[in-house]
Amino acid sequence: MTLDWRQYATDHPRLVEATLIALLCAASGPLSLYASRPYAEGLDWASAIPLAAAASLALLWRRSHPRIVVVVTAVCAAAAGGVGYLLTPLLLAPVMAALYELAIRVPRRVSLGYCLTATAVIVPTALFGDRFDHPWPLTTINPIFCLILPVVAGSVTRLRHAYLQAVQARAEHAERTREEEARHRVAEERMRIARELHDVVAHHLALANAQAGTATYLARTSPDQAQHLLTELAGTTSSALRELKATVGLLRQAGDTDSPLEPAPGLHQLPDLTATLTSAGLDVDVTIEGRQQPLSPGVDLTAYRIVQEALTNVTRHAATPAARVRLAYGSDRLTITITNDTGPTAPAPNGHGFGLIGMRERAHAAGGHFEAGHRPEGGFTVTTELPIRH
């Protein structure tokens, strides 16, 4: 069975730490003394063991106080070099470990400054304290390389950790952005369905109310006409139910069966709309200017709903039930104007209504422009410009 040393080190951090300290103490003490013997006869254990132990034990605080640990280990290495020890990688092992730990925790400029300071202390001390004529490359070039190497390795490790953290942060940000975009689209879809429901319910209920009132009046004076109007009323309510079913059907899941199969309303249904309104007592005059062009489905639905809502408002608020609808086709824009200019128009409650807000939102969502307001000579005008293609 293969032993997972990484998992073992994670589960036993104190044992790993003690083993590392013991190995570094042995490397910078007895092994360093053994490596120096060919160049320095007469060195003993008296100075090697205390310096190696002090430098190695200082590494216990390398994570909490990395700067102080670098200073302590550098002083111990300088003292060992000053008494005649050769500055080998074994003797410098505690300093190298301290410099590596410092390099992965502080900016590169700080770790490089500590490295240069430690080098400036250790190398001259070893040169001036050399009593055994050690080869100068081993006294200078070797320790300089050994002290710079852990700083470079630590800086690379720190940059790699920073890169991985940045990648993780970008991934988390992208995930949050996707979730926010999904929520935003859900909110937009709910607003669109709410506008559809408002337009359908407001139009058909207002129309049914007008037809019912007219039928009540005609039932006493002209029963034959009342019967015809009641038939129209049944058609209005049936149309309302069909549109409500189609709109609420948008909320169904993909696997549901009763999904609506009828196409979305558009300007091609404008004659049916005006005929229904005429039966309810609203005189509607439709004028088409320019060459008619096919609209994109979204713009077609927006145009129909705006005309429907504007005519419904005329039915509910206008003093005189008459309206003019003007459709002006340009090269790339469709201008729709609905005007009631035969009498004063009562304002919506509190001076505004959700119908106007819904029409404005529809026009803006389709990339168009919307205006509505009272006419100076009386009446009300709704004007919107929509792109032919969106």
Let me know if residue 301 belongs to a domain. Answer: yes
H helices of the chain, in order, are: 5-11, 13-26, 32-36, 45-58, 66-82, 93-103, 108-128, 136-139, 141-221, 223-248, 270-279, 297-317, 354-365
Residue 252 confidence (pLDDT): 54
Residue 374 near residue 380 (C-beta atoms within 8 A)? yes
The pTM of the full predicted model, rounded to 2 decimals, is: 0.45
389 contacts: CB under 8 Å, gap ≥ 6: 295, 296, 299, 332
Query: Which comes out higher in pLDDT, residue 61 or 344?
Result: 61
Could you tell me if 167 and 272 lie in one domain? no
Mean pLDDT of the chain: 76
Residue 345 lies in a domain: yes
% of the chain residues with pLDDT over 70: 66
User: From edge to edge, which strands make up the β-sheet containing 283-289?
Assistant: 283-289, 322-329, 333-340, 380-387, 369-374
Same domain (yes/no): 26, 160: yes
The predicted pLDDT at position 309 comes to: 85
CB 269 within 8 A of CB 239: no
Domain boundary among 118, 153, 172: 172
Last-in-domain residue among 172, 195, 229: 172
Q: Is residue 209 in some structural domain?
A: no
Q: What's the half-sphere exposure (Cβ side, CA atoms, 13 Å) at 33?
A: 16
For residue 105, the surrounding DSSP H or E stretch is: none
The domain that contains 271 carries what CATH number? 3.30.565.10
Residue 18: both structure tokens together = 């003690």
Helix spans in 222-296 (H): 223-248, 270-279
Q: Residue 121 belongs to what domain range?
A: 8-172
Domain count, the chain: 2
Q: Of 142, 172, 202, which one is at a domain's C-terminal end?
A: 172
pLDDT in tens, 143-196: 888 889 999 988 888 888 888 888 888 888 887 777 777 677 767 766 776 676
The pLDDT tens digits for 75-93 are 888 887 777 777 777 778 8
Q: Which of 303, 288, 285 is nearest to 341 (CA)?
A: 285
Task: Tell me whether residue 49 is in a domain.
Answer: yes
Q: Which residue, 320, 319, 311, 334, is CA-closest to 381?
A: 311
More confident residue, 320 or 33: 320
pLDDT at 38: 52
Question: In terms of domains, do 158 and 273 share one?
Answer: no
Characterize the bridge pairing of strands 322-329 and 283-289: parallel
Residue 43 lies in a domain: yes
Q: Is 281 domain-assigned?
A: yes
What length is written for the chain?
A: 390
